[in-house]
Chains A and B, each alone.
Chain A
Amino acid sequence: MGESHRPKGFKRLRGLPVVGRAADWGMGPHAVSKNTKTAGSRIAGLKATESVCPYCAVGCGQIVYTRDGELVDIEGNPNSPINQGTLCPKGSASRQLIQQPGRLTKVKYRRPGGTEWEELDLETAMDMIAERVIRAREDHWQTHDEHGWKVDRTMGFAHLGGATLDNEENYLIKKFFSAMGAVQIENQARI
């Protein structure tokens, strides 16, 4: 889209007496340095993958550029009929979301009464969480509620979150936690 419009707009600018000359001085081919001419495209040779912006719910298309599995940049997808290549400041900064300072790569653990984070092996953490969720389910199981009505549920644990996750992920959360009998399952849509 952008490509097809640009020459037209640029031509129109050049047609104007003062702006046209300014365009030649500042923006035309004369302004391009030797370095720029030889540098080539920043995205040449990179792998492009189509994605969707993770911030608001407009759903702008993104193109994710990687080199050897490393993220190089994220740009708006010109093919998307939603954003036609544009992104807002947040979408434009989404490379930094992935490569942000302080990005977690290890499980952090805080023991009861602890004053500092400790590190945990992922498998150990998964085992510990499974043990705790089973215990919470059992300790707070209700076959009947206080009215004597059948409820078949646990009130021992709750879940919060989902509006930034994928539908597949939410589906597994709802399916599995419901099978465990949990009813306190909530997300940002309530807020």
Chain B
Amino acid sequence: MVWIQGSGMAEAHPVGFRWVMKAKERGAKIIHVDPHYSRTSALADLYAPIRAGSDIAFLGGLIHHIIETDAYFKDYVVNYTNAATIVNEEFKDTEDLEGYFSGYDPETGTYDRSSWMYEGGEVASAAGQREHSTQAFSDRTGAGMMMGNVESDETLQHPRCVFQLLKKHYARYTPEMVEQVCGIPRETFLEIADTLIANSGRERTGMLVYAVGWTQHSTGVQMIRGGAIVQLLLGNVGRPGGGVMAMRGHASIQGSSDIPTLYELLPGYLPMPRAREGEVTLQDYVDRGGSARGWWANFDKYIVSLCKAWFGDNATPENDFGFPWLPKISGNHSHFTTMMRAMDGGLDGLFVMGQNPAVGSQHSGLQRRALGHLKWLVVRDLADLETARFWKDSQEVKGGEIRTEDIQTEVFLMPAAGHVEKEGHFTNTQRLLQWRDKALDPPGDARSELHFMHHLAKRVLAHYAGSTDDKDWPLRNLHWDYSEHGQHAEPNAEDVLREINGYEVATGRHLSGFTELEADGTTACGCWIYSGCFADGVNQTRRRNPGNLDDPEGGWVSPEWAWAWPANRRILYNRASADPDGKPWSERKKYVWWDEEEGKWTGYDVPDFPAPKRPDYKAADDAVGMDAISGDDPFMMMADGRAWLYSPSGLLDGPMPTHYEPFESPVDNLLYPKVPANPAALVWDRNDNPLNPPRDPRYPVVASTFRLTEHHTAGPMSRNLPWLAELQPEMFAEIDPMLAAKRGIEDGGWMCIVTERAEIEARAKVTHRVRPLEIAGRTVHQISLPWHWGSHTTSEQGVTGDTTNDLIALSGDPNVSIEDKAFSCNVRAGRRHNSSTARLAHAVDNELKLSGDHGAEEPEKAGQRGDSQHPPELEDE
């Protein structure tokens, strides 16, 4: 069974979807839940339309149904999840507090999470503690290490055990409620729920596939948590054919999270050091980021080895390996916050490499305006694009709202090398590191980003070589030793990969994996989870033996094709594919098991467990590190060795997913009428970021976005290409016939889509692929918008069109600062008369004001907004 929700997999990941079709040929059931009937839906056995943004109500309905019908996989749930763990009595559920969990502070719009903890202990989440991106550091909100022994009740009857809390939390998420909130008829919902149940258990497994249809919401992280809870209840994690598959959208978006160009992370998901009162010492960072129990007890080895990779011989035990000189974050420095700093005149320069925020970022009209407030902008790409030429022919310039001559931004547009013109590796959506050989030279002055960074670094390092200023210590002591080759002095990509893999400092020997890392400075490693990718001095990411795909021993998962992190493991937590005694749950779903004769774990994959740890090993109460993980605790990254149905720490907006409406919704929150939207979510409350008021009759239509096979994201990689431009030439909107008739919109004719931010035009595709939904007794219409078009193409055969992201407001999930793409709007027939963002002009009160450092403007929390306006009642659409 393959359950796809929050993803248009056939459209956006067509070759990956080929394997879904292979599974279907072998009898697998395919389920698709999506606002928009697409190529994915057409090939599914079961399709349900859902109102955009209401997925948690649906997922809560599944959890409710699975528990009510006693359909969960009991042996798995009791032994491998925290279902039996007892939560302390301070905890209050949203059922007790009308839509809030305990600990909510309406002043700051944040939660104090201390009351969410287990009874008898505190636990650390998998990646160390997290803090609210705008929350000042507080010892109370951090999870700390797990102390003592937590209480549990394996009969699952204790009223405060996780299982009972889950049951209570979702008690009102009935099939009737799902129908009212999501617009999915209860029969369809029950058919899907029963199909999931029938295809899970000892003999069968099912997988969940999601993509940015889930992540891009003010409740995005909790949607994914909801999917994970369903999969855990059904026993579908760590087993072949199971799992939660995130379909990621760019060739190396997984890699750029692992080796992050993200503000709050260091390589390998180590947190960036965060400022607090007093000095942030290495010991302090390790105490807060690590965990006494479980795998994260190794945390100190990873950060020290990273410092050794960065500062080489200059990183010593005496100077805490250079750690004290790393920059510290304080609050939110995410993309949106940074662009608002630019808008307010606080940011001098911006590098943009292979990204097109003028089209691809939310509230793109404001993004383009913000670019005009920079002193300088460096864009690296294959061809000219909207982000580089915002000053020349953007909507705002063409509309006369901004004059080119008034924009003082200096722009460097640098020619970049394409994927076949350089060597290096991408990490794909299944954590597979795949090397590309170089096939030809880049043209003219085009260079790789590796070349650019290397030669920029050499210039800057030369400038600081003689400095004695303490703040320049990291530059003076940076280990930057990459060999160069060829006429352009291209740095050697494999040198960089060797550093990422890690080496023994004394000998330079390549490490075989992260288990060799030490915290005493004897090892260096640029990204601990990638350690092993250059084991034995061989570039393992360049391996190209697919093996025999029909033979489980030799190639079910192609173990010799490229290299997967961690440790070339293809399925994470695969210890869970065997029962607590170490035997496969069934012969049919055999994957990793305990070999009593050999005294080790073995199977078709690299076991995700210490190889010699017996299944009957019982951790002592006072054990630390991996000794604290028992032989039947497969989820060893967690301090308690269990998968979490309930998150006592790690998330900022609740221990269990809860249905809230999108910020802009024409519908009330039927489950918690007093709390319309996620109370912990981020809002940028600025004049130039106006929101459509909730239930405003001017914005009765629900909108969401989707991708097309023939285009790629914001378009620079597809709109200039003659073949692709011909296949999908024009921006369009899918609209249902009833709404189209009401507004006089004709199939193939022009229509406009309007929000508080913008008005864009599109060709109307009048179609039953989007259908009006019955929501709480009234009809709600939805439209679906692709978002690949922008104002510029470099080619006569290329295509341009209006930019969907002009419509969308800045807002953010509190955990990850990713926006809400389910929004409200209105539609009308005809074309627009002004530039798409003309209506923004009156809201921008600091147009081209270039002086003054305003500092980071922090987003506000939803709770801080005084939503006292009561819009008039909606007319029935």
Contact = CB atoms under 8 A, between A and B. Distances in A.
A122 interface: yes
Contacts of B535: none
Nearest to B311: A179
A33 interface: no
B13 interface: yes
A89 B424 CA distance: 24
A87 B13 CA distance: 10
A81 interface: yes
Contacts of B449: 165-166, 169, 172-173
B424 A102 contact: no
Contacts of A20: none
Contact of A58 (B16, B376, B471): B16
Contact of B405 (A86, A115, A122): A115
A136 B342 CA distance: 13
Contacts of A112: 407-410
Interface in A111-132: 111-115, 117, 120, 122, 125-130, 132
B450 A105 contact: no
Contacts of A93: 718, 721, 723-724
A146 B263 CA distance: 19
A96 B409 contact: no
A167 B426 contact: yes
Contacts of B251: 52-57, 59, 163-164
Contacts of B480: 176
Contact of A81 (B327, B347, B549): B549
Contact of B256 (A154, A156, A170): A170
Interface string B492-535: 01001101100000000000000000000000001100100000
B695 interface: no
Nearest to A1: B549
User: Quick one: which of B327, B414, B454 has the most chain A CB within 10 A?
Assistant: B327
Contacts of B342: 158
Contact of B420 (A74, A151, A185, A186): A74
B328 A150 contact: yes
A146 B330 CA distance: 10
Contact of B818 (A98, A165, A190): A190
Contacts of B261: 159, 161-162, 170, 173-174, 185-187
A109 B389 CA distance: 10
Nearest to A68: B440
Given A57-B428, A130-B459, A169-B453, A155 B817 contact: no
Interface stretch (A10-18, A22-30, A35-43, A137-145): A137-145
A49 B353 contact: no
Interface residues of B, number: 171
B106 interface: no
Contacts of B247: 56-57
Interface centre among A62, A139, A163 (most CB of B within 10 A): A163
B724 A57 contact: no
Interface string B334-366: 110010011000111111111101001110000
Nearest to A105: B444
B462 to A, nearest CB: 9
A19 interface: no
Contacts of A167: 252, 255-256, 258-259, 424-427, 433, 497, 500, 530
Interface string B789-816: 0000011111000000000000000001
B325 interface: yes
B276 A149 contact: yes
B252 A57 contact: yes
B553 interface: no
B437 A51 contact: yes
B577 interface: no
Contacts of A51: 419-420, 436-437, 439
A69 interface: yes
A167 B268 CA distance: 12
A54 B818 CA distance: 24
Interface in B369-412: 375-376, 378, 380-384, 388-389, 391-392, 404-412
Given A51-B439, A59-B426, A184-B333, A98 B456 contact: no
B382 A104 contact: yes
A160 B460 CA distance: 20
Nearest to B797: A101
B441 interface: yes
Given A92-B723, A188-B360, 10 more contacts: A55-B712, A81-B561, A83-B18, A132-B348, A151-B327, A172-B450, A176-B453, A179-B474, A187-B253, A189-B257
23 contacts: A50-B544, A54-B426, A55-B712, A56-B429, A57-B428, A69-B440, A91-B15, A93-B721, A97-B382, A100-B382, A106-B445, A126-B455, A132-B375, A135-B348, A136-B375, A147-B275, A153-B327, A158-B347, A165-B353, A165-B354, A172-B454, A178-B326, A184-B333
Interface of A: 47, 49-62, 64, 66, 69-71, 74, 79-83, 86-94, 96-98, 100-115, 117, 120, 122, 125-130, 132-136, 139-141, 143, 145-147, 149-176, 178-191
